């Protein structure tokens, strides 16, 4: 396949179309506006529907409705908009509805800034909605990965009957890189017999709901969901390791910071320090076992967690390591991206050099 130059947001939108998504409901917010812009132009051409809702709250509930009809549907937003969608997300997990939700994260809290940030880690992985729910969170670091994982997200959502979130930051949304449109591995997907497509008088009506009157039935429902989440943990965890074998410093970073870390690793190499990168690609389920294995190597003196937040993923790093190595933090929040030199300096400080 010939390479093509794609802007992150537009690649996300095109990936959705290629994955069979015909419906999009959203509300504008920088830095993800090219996603709705692209889909508003292209979805009507393929017989789909693009709708700009009156608010994010309305948009996420339109997603609920469309997903309930068994079609592939997506919404996208950026941090403050995703906050507004939290109620809809827990309802979709409760009602077991597959959909893809994209968050091009910007600085927070509140309205914050429009520049790249990762302050929504807790929200994405712990959930801002109520109840015991989980959903997959993919964190692409390149435009190629954004295109790949958005396509994959639709399959995974259908496979588990659960929403899937894709989080990137404003930088990945705005930049352009050369990508290839490649076929994603096909998964065998169950038929959507639960969808509310009309009975035609031939079957009992399907009901899509997250309300239980009998607590025993709700408890059973939770057990079943928990088993599903466990299966996701077992089968869907993804990560990348770069230069980790026998490294002295192990960086943990995802998304844009992982790219800056790769530049920092090159700087450290010039000073004779061997540093490696552990990059979670799924933020939930978190690749805890794999991270612990990388960090437990005898060569590793320190683990440095780098985020575009004031330290959120660091909790998962510490949970994974179970105290086996010291963990230090480097990062900035609010839309400022640290330089490779700053990240390299943090690594040197961590090992006392």
Partner 1 sequence: MTNEIMIAGFGGQGVMAIGKTLAEAGMKEGKDVSWLPSYGPEMRGGTANCCVVISEEEIVCPIVLEPTELIAMNLPSLRKFEHDVVKGGTIFVNSSIISEKVERDDVRVINVPCLDIANELGNAKVANMVMLGAYIEAMGNLGTETIKEMLVHMFTGPKAKLVDLNIEALRRGAACVK
Taking the complex as a whole, the smallest distance from the CB of residue 15 to partner 1 amounts, in Å, to 19
Coil vs helix vs strand at 6: strand
Taking the complex as a whole, the smallest distance from the CB of residue 173 to partner 1 amounts, in Å, to 9
Q: Which 164-183 residues touch partner 1, going by CB under 8 A? A: 170-171, 174-178
Q: Which is nearer to partner 1, 179 or 350 (CB)?
A: 179
Q: Which stretch binds partner 1 (CB under 8 A): 86-94, 201-209, 220-228, 254-262?
A: 254-262
Closest CA to 71 of 195, 188, 186, 193: 195
Read off the tokens for 311: 């330290």
> Residue from 42, 86, 340, 351 that binds partner 1 (CB under 8 A)?
340
The torsion angle over the Cα atoms of residues 40, 46, 48 and 53, rounded to 10 degrees, is: 0
Taking the complex as a whole, the smallest distance from the CB of residue 22 to partner 1 amounts, in Å, to 29
Dihedrals φ, ψ of 239, to 5°? -160, 170
Q: Is 40 in the site for partner 1 (CB under 8 A)?
A: no
> Residue from 5, 46, 226, 231 that binds partner 1 (CB under 8 A)?
5
Size of the site for partner 1 (CB under 8 A): 21
Q: Is 336 in the site for partner 1 (CB under 8 A)?
A: no
> Residue from 76, 79, 103, 115 that binds partner 1 (CB under 8 A)?
115
Distance CA 208, CA 199 (A): 14
Q: Which 15-34 residues touch partner 1, going by CB under 8 A? A: 30-31
Q: Is 161 in the site for partner 1 (CB under 8 A)?
A: no
- Using alpha carbons, list the distances in angstroms from residue 260 to 56, 114, 141, 309, 348: 32, 20, 11, 15, 16
**Strand locations in 111-259, DSSP E?**
136-138, 164-169, 176-179, 239-242, 249-252
Q: Which is nearer to partner 1, 260 or 320 (CB)?
A: 260
Q: What is the DSSP string of 238-298?
A: -EEEES-TT-SEEEE--SHHHHHHHHHHHHHHHTT--EEEEEESEEES--HHHHHHHHTST
Q: Is 78 in the site for partner 1 (CB under 8 A)?
A: no
Q: Is 14 in the site for partner 1 (CB under 8 A)?
A: no
Counts for the chain of helices (H) and strands (E), in that order = 13, 14
Distance CA 27, CA 76 (A): 8
Q: Is 331 in the site for partner 1 (CB under 8 A)?
A: no
Q: Which 286-325 residues touch partner 1, going by CB under 8 A? A: none
Q: Which is nearer to partner 1, 5 or 310 (CB)?
A: 5
> Residue from 11, 168, 260, 300 that binds partner 1 (CB under 8 A)?
260
Distance CA 302, CA 44 (A): 53
Strands 100-105 and 327-331: unpaired
Q: In this structure, are residues 103 and 77 in contact, taking their beta carbons and an 8 Å threshold? A: yes
Q: Is 107 in the site for partner 1 (CB under 8 A)?
A: no
Q: Which is nearer to partner 1, 30 or 196 (CB)?
A: 30
Q: Which stretch binds partner 1 (CB under 8 A): 55-63, 85-93, 94-102, 333-341?
A: 333-341
- Which residues bind to partner 1, rule: CB under 8 A? 3, 5, 30-31, 114-115, 170-171, 174-178, 259-260, 262-263, 266, 337, 339-340
């Amino acid at each position: 396949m010939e390479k093509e130059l794609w802007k992150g947001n537009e690649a996300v939108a095109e990936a959705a179309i290629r994955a069979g998504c015909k419906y999009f409901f959203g509300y504008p917010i920088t830095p993800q506006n090219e996603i709705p812009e692209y889909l508003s132009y292209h979805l009507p051409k393929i017989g789909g529907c693009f709708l700009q809702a009156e608010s994010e709250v309305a948009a996420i509930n339109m997603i609920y409705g469309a997903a309930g009809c068994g079609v592939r549907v997506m919404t996208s937003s950026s941090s403050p908009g995703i906050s507004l969608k939290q109620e809809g997300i827990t309802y979709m997990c409760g009602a077991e509805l597959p959909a893809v939700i994209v968050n091009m994260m910007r600085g927070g809290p509140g309205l914050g800034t429009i520049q790249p940030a990762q302050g929504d880690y807790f929200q994405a992985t712990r959930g801002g909605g109520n109840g015991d729910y989980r959903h997959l969170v993919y964190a692409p670091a390149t435009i190629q990965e954004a295109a790949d994982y958005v396509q994959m997200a639709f399959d995974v959502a259908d496979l588990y009957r659960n929403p899937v979130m894709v989080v990137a930051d404003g930088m990945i949304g705005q930049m352009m890189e050369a990508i290839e449109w490649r076929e994603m591995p096909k998964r065998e997907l169950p038929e959507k017999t639960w969808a509310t497509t009309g009975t035609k008088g031939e079957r009992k009506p399907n009901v899509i709901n997250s309300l239980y009157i009998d607590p025993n039935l709700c408890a059973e429902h939770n057990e079943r969901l928990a088993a599903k989440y466990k299966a996701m943990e077992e089968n869907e965890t993804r990560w990348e390791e770069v230069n980790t074998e026998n490294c002295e410093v192990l960086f943990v970073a995802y998304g844009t910071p992982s790219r800056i870390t790769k530049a920092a690793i090159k700087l450290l190499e010039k000073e004779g320090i061997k540093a490696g990168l552990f990059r979670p690609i799924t933020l939930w389920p978190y690749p805890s076992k794999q991270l612990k294995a990388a960090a437990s190597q005898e060569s590793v003196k320190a683990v440095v967690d780098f985020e575009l937040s004031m330290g959120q993923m660091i909790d998962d790093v510490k949970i994974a390591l179970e105290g086996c190595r010291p963990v230090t933090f480097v990062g900035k929040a609010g839309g400022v991206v640290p330089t490779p030199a700053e990240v390299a300096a943090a690594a040197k400080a961590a090992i006392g050099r």
